[in-house]
């Protein structure tokens, strides 16, 4: 992995928030299911979203990029792919594509990805599809990719899916099952994690003309319906903005993030309440779509349940290094099933800089040190960990962080943006 050398920095200025990865995935997938042409404006072009574009093209969808606009000529009866569909590292892509692949008219689709993705759990979705008349299975028979999905359509009926592992299983079923042969009733067992991400799916479906009856995220009724051609403008990504806001709070004097659409639901809007609860200085202008934070010498600790917002784990863990009392982060067991085991990896790396970290199966307890130590930090090729640890390193006098190449998954310009805001980040000659 490629390392960067980072020295103590001050972060100030104005920056536009990158486009939302979650909404980009959803808009591209849904537009691919429209019988007609849709336009997706300002999507995020990253390794993950390009995987979704590539996968949809493999199903016979016509997709053309024109600067910051993507023209999509969709179809809800897909062609069988000419080759194996490789989604690289994108868990969202493989989960959305699994159900979409059931709409292939004839033949089977093979879905795979990189080494990390081939460890991601898929069995709850495969089991749920089986109840709807879809034959889909793991080639290793262990519930992980590669997957084979038999085409021929989704019959419909009632199915159940485990909500405790990932909300993406639910989103996958919601997006494609409106094209089932009969009404689909989707019931959730277990505690549903990351519910705001499902709200984002429902909001995108609504923008494309389909409303779904939702009973408190426990049961969904999907009648036979069709999406309509739509022009969809992707909002700014609060997942990425949260990292920049954390940098502004811990390292800056005044920093403004623009380009936020507060009218569409986003899970990581929770960061605004967390910052306030920790005593951070923040101003939000919902009309202008701006968030302004002010450097804070010391934050307050507290307990934060991230069961609905797992991507905020690296952010809150970073803020904990400025807290005068311990920070307890709960509801994060499903973060072990992301690109990496984020709980264990955050614990190991924050310990390097002097924090006292107690790791539980579903929680972290972080106590900040009086002085942060210099360290050589490892991101485990996890984009969100690299970005969080870059901010951690800027709090030290001189540290390195490995894995800069991972940021193209969600925020390709992350390092460049931080440098323009004042970050002292330079490549090193060290390679592992």
Counting Cα atoms < 13 Å in the Cβ hemisphere of 365 gives 6
Residues whose CB is less than 8 angstroms from the CB of residue 52 and which lie 6 or more positions away in sequence, other chains included: 24, 25, 28, 29, 87, 90, 92, 93, 96, 97
**DSSP result, 122-176:** -HHHHHHHHHTT--EEETTSSS-SSEEEE-S----EEEEEETTT-THHHHHHHHH
Q: Can 35 be counted among the known catalytic residues?
A: no
Question: Does residue 146 have a cis peptide bond before it, meaning omega lies within 30 degrees of 0?
Answer: yes
| CB distance 260 to 68 below 8 Å | no
Residues whose CB is less than 8 angstroms from the CB of residue 258 and which lie 6 or more positions away in sequence, other chains included: 14, 15, 16, 17, 236, 288, 289, 290
Handedness of CA 410, 413, 416, 419 (dihedral sign): negative
| CB distance 160 to 188 below 8 Å | yes
Phi, psi for 156 (deg, rounded to 5)? 110, -175
- The enclosing H or E element of 70 equals strand 69-73
| Alpha helices for 225-378 (secondary structure H) | 238-251, 270-277, 313-319, 342-352
Q: Which residue has the tokens 């006292």?
A: 356
Cα separation, 257 vs 245, in Å, equals 8
Select which of 311, 341, 382, 430 is catalytic.
311
Counting Cα atoms < 13 Å in the Cβ hemisphere of 411 gives 26
For 68, the 3-state DSSP assignment is coil
Give the CA distances from residue 31 to residues 152, 211, 294, 317, 398, in Å, rounded to whole numbers and listed in that order: 21, 15, 40, 36, 46
Residues labelled as active-site residues:
311
């Amino acid at each position: 992995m490629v390392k960067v050398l980072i020295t103590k920095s001050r972060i100030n200025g104005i920056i536009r928030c990158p486009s939302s990865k979650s909404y980009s995935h959803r808009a591209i997938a849904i537009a691919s299911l429209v019988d007609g042409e849709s336009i997706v404006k300002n999507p995020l072009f990253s390794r993950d979203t390009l995987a979704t574009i590539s996968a949809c093209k493999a199903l016979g969808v016509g997709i053309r990029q024109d600067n910051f606009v993507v023209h999509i000529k969709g179809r809800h009866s897909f062609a069988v792919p000419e080759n194996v569909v490789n989604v690289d590292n994108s868990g969202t892509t493989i989960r959305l594509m699994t159900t979409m692949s059931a709409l292939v008219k004839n033949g089977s689709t093979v879905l795979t990805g990189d080494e990390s993705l081939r460890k991601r759990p898929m069995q709850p979705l495969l089991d749920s599809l089986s109840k709807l008349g879809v034959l889909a299975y793991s080639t290793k028979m262990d519930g992980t990719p590669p997957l084979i999905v038999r085409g021929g359509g989704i019959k419909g009926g009632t199915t159940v899916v485990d909500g405790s592992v990932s909300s993406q299983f639910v989103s996958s079923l919601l997006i494609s099952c409106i094209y089932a042969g009969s009404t689909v009733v989707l019931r959730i067992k277990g505690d549903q994690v990351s519910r705001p991400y499902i709200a984002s799916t429902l909001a995108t479906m609504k923008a494309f003309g389909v409303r779904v009856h939702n009973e408190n995220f426990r049961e969904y009724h999907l009648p036979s319906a069709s999406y309509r051609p739509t022009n969809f403008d992707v909002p700014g990504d609060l997942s990425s903005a949260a990292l920049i806001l954390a940098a502004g709070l811990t390292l800056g004097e005044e920093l403004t993030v623009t380009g936020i659409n507060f009218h569409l639901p986003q899970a990581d809007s929770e960061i605004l309440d967390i910052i306030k609860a920790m005593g951070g200085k923040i101003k939000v202008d919902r009309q202008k779509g701006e968030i302004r934070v002010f450097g804070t010498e010391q934050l307050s600790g507290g307990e934060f349940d991230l069961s609905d917002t797992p991507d905020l784990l690296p952010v809150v863990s970073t803020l904990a290094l400025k807290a005068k009392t311990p920070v307890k982060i709960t509801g994060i067991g499903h973060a072990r099933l992301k690109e990496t085991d984020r709980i264990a990896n955050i614990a190991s790396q924050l310990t390097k800089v002097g924090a006292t970290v107690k790791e539980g199966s579903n929680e972290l307890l972080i106590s900040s040190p009086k002085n942060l130590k210099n360290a050589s930090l490892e991101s485990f090729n996890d984009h969100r960990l690299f970005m969080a640890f870059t901010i951690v390193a800027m709090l030290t006098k001189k540290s390195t962080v490995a894995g800069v190449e991972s940021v193209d998954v969600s925020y390709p310009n992350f390092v460049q943006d931080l440098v323009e805001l004042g970050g002292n980040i330079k490549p090193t000659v060290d390679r592992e």
